[in-house]
Structure 1
């Protein structure tokens, strides 16, 4: 059941573009209807002189818990999550097949374990929602993993989405906590947007950041928006972040976004490190007359989005940075999720405004315009 907050105007729901849809998000977007797999954009550009906020801010008491999964049961709750099952490669040339096996996703000791394993596996060659999905047309890849999503079960517009997780370590790993639109109101990826709450690649590998010193290892996480037109006319903007001395694979950390009308903010352990506003994003689509137009107001981040949790192996981002490729000794990697919590702003549930948790150290990401 969807959260009954403000709904998209009905005249926009008629917009439908059968264009290729992919995404960053640790393994691509949904509803791919193309025979080709568009490449993942390169990661957001690095600052030449990085400034990483360190101020912890206190979350507003006006955030009201709306939905949660504490993973306290013995099995993954199928009223909350569905499994994608494919060997598509995410549109990014990733090396994992996604399965619904307990070998790849299981509840243990009050946490969700998403497990990537080095093993040859054969499964459907295209993404689950593609009109070309056919279990008899297969692909074989050298790893397995899991990608869970709440599509069709739970989705939201505006709020605070908070996930506490321990990330995997190793060259070639690509964990992601992210969101995609449920109805693709403005057309194919990324015209209808994508919100990457947290992505990380190759944690623990030698850092190739332009500002890294010899011996530095990769510890950054990334928060990113994808928007603009449908691929290949999409763009993205985001910010990387690290905490001094923190290795995200050693302990649990809390990754969050606060999303309100016209603004999205990113947090790690209650450190507000980045903000993007509608002044720096846009959506363009082709109207019924065949004219490319810019959607009004705060599109595309003014519609219902659902949540995805996954662990990819390899792909066009992970394999092309840090130590390059996939570590040949990588036989197993885990992303362990302690909880997922979604809050709504009790001050204004329609716009999500009034509960802002803001630091003056946070970086305002410039974004892009058409």
Structure 2
């Protein structure tokens, strides 16, 4: 969920970001080739905690109820209860049920459960069927057992969203990390043909040191490895804040900045069914894959989908100002309506491993319907700049080539392009085009020539 600490300032930020600017991070399905842990042995995941919901009622030794309303910092409109009308066991499933009825100042009731146990790392499995209708907001997510470990407040402490869903967007679920100071959220989306309310689906999160992996029905759809945590005293060491104990939450919210106001007239199901919750710990070695420039073949392109054959799979796009990315004729196109407000307000990037004491060469073609500056960069842990430069794209295609040597190694560094309010930009509607991307490791000893 987008925050569960009741802070008026956070509520205002949520409103601005989620309603006004409508930022959306698009993440395509990610292959395990991007993982830091390519040799995990699936037989070494050991079950350490579960609830199969086989009892007659909710097991309060495993779960605690949240009681109350007030919006929870998200402008939500439900009052959470421990009533058996809102949370109960039916046919071996936990059911969270949203009801249109008054309680206190709220016009709806529902339920939210938090696990009494907490964990650091692990594999989290859920089988669930989701409700359907405008304003319904089921979620499976995690918060720190002790928010004071890092920063003492959200989002510095971190938040892990395993599954979120808008009842009005019935074919799409989300997985998100919240962190940073200021607030940063990175979201991946998974779509199906049909509706998540029609049947049960499997949702899995694997949380490893320095890496999260999200799955739906056995399909890996995103990997995240890049985040940071900082407060007024400075920046905490990576992988903070995601190296502490977190507990689980299951809830069904009604209304809020994310799903919008409820419309009971189009509700087709108000019940969030959870068949089971299972938590596994890994019994093997969790040392990340070793890597060095010697594992990268000189003059071989390190980028995925560098020619945009049919789409921009492998690349992540983000915009807080309405820019639209698309692919046509093996060209990535960004339709930009405003460059405001920030340099990073429109961007795209790809994660790639880079190593210190190594020289890389990145090249690409670009043009713009109006001449404008664009910043290219490579960012490591905590968004540390490992390389950056600004060039001017003109209405004619031009080839750009840059050599750089990172000062530190970084698994999953970002090769990114800022298309926002770069110094000197005109705030006019325009389109920018890119193609022919290459990123190669240069073996200086063998004097490779790059073309």
Would you say same fold, with TM above 0.5?
A: yes
Structure 1 equivalent of residue 137 of structure 2: 174
Structure 2 equivalent of residue 272 of structure 1: 220
Structure 1 equivalent of residue 243 of structure 2: 302
The partner residue of 2:110 within 141, 145, 157 is 145
2:128 and 2:275 in contact (8 A); partners too = yes
1:29 aligns with 2:4: yes
Structure 2 equivalent of residue 105 of structure 1: 87
Structure 1 residue 202: Cα displacement = 2.5
Paired residue total: 286
Cα distance in 1, alignment partners of residues 136 and 124 from structure 2 = 23
1:105 and 1:112 in contact (8 A); partners too = yes
SS of aligned partner of 2:265:
coil
Q: TM (normalized to structure 2)?
A: 0.58
Structure 2 equivalent of residue 6 of structure 1: none
1:164 aligns with 2:127: yes
The 1:310–1:352 alpha-carbon spacing in structure 2 relative to 1, beyond 3 Å, is farther
Structure 1 residue 261: Cα displacement = 0.4
SS of aligned partner of 2:243:
coil
Residues 262-320 of structure 1: per-residue CA shift (max 9 Å, x gap): 0000000110000000xx20000123xxxxx110120010000000000111101111x
Cα distance in 2, alignment partners of residues 284 and 96 from structure 1 = 33
Structure 2 equivalent of residue 134 of structure 1: none
The partner residue of 1:336 within 273, 276, 283 is 273
The 1:170–1:53 alpha-carbon spacing in structure 2 relative to 1, beyond 3 Å, is farther
Backbone CA RMSD of aligned residues: 2.9
Structure 1 residue 171: Cα displacement = 1.1
1:282 aligns with 2:228: yes
1:194 aligns with 2:155: no
Cα distance in 2, alignment partners of residues 176 and 337 from structure 1 = 11
Structure 2 equivalent of residue 17 of structure 1: none
Which of structures 1 and 2 has the bigger CA Rg? 2
Greater per-residue helix proportion: 2
SS of aligned partner of 1:155:
strand
1:159 and 1:343 in contact (8 A); partners too = yes
SS of aligned partner of 2:154:
coil
Cα distance in 2, alignment partners of residues 44 and 61 from structure 1 = 39
Structure 1 equivalent of residue 377 of structure 2: none
Cα distance in 1, alignment partners of residues 287 and 123 from structure 2 = 9
The partner residue of 2:176 within 207, 216, 224 is 224
Residues 60-111 of structure 1: per-residue CA shift (max 9 Å, x gap): 1221111100000001011110000111212111111111111100011110
2:135 and 2:255 in contact (8 A); partners too = yes
Highest relative contact order (Cα 8 Å, sep 6+), 1 or 2?
1
The partner residue of 2:263 within 327, 331, 335 is 327
1:67 aligns with 2:49: yes
SS of aligned partner of 1:258:
strand
Residues 167-196 of structure 1: per-residue CA shift (max 9 Å, x gap): 011111111000001101112001010000
Greater per-residue strand proportion: 2
Cα distance in 2, alignment partners of residues 61 and 115 from structure 1 = 36
2:79 and 2:109 in contact (8 A); partners too = yes
Where does the alignment leave 5 or more consecutive residues of structure 2 unmatched?
33-39, 290-303, 306-312, 317-348, 352-381, 385-451
Cα distance in 2, alignment partners of residues 369 and 294 from structure 1 = 11
SS of aligned partner of 2:139:
strand
Cα distance in 2, alignment partners of residues 183 and 98 from structure 1 = 23
1:52 and 1:242 in contact (8 A); partners too = no
The 1:163–1:44 alpha-carbon spacing in structure 2 relative to 1, beyond 3 Å, is farther
Residues 4-48 of structure 1: per-residue CA shift (max 9 Å, x gap): xxxxxxxxxxxxxxxxxxx51xxx324x4669844435276154x
Cα distance in 1, alignment partners of residues 159 and 239 from structure 2 = 14
The 1:364–1:340 alpha-carbon spacing in structure 2 relative to 1, beyond 3 Å, is farther
Cα distance in 1, alignment partners of residues 229 and 106 from structure 2 = 35
1:275 and 1:364 in contact (8 A); partners too = no
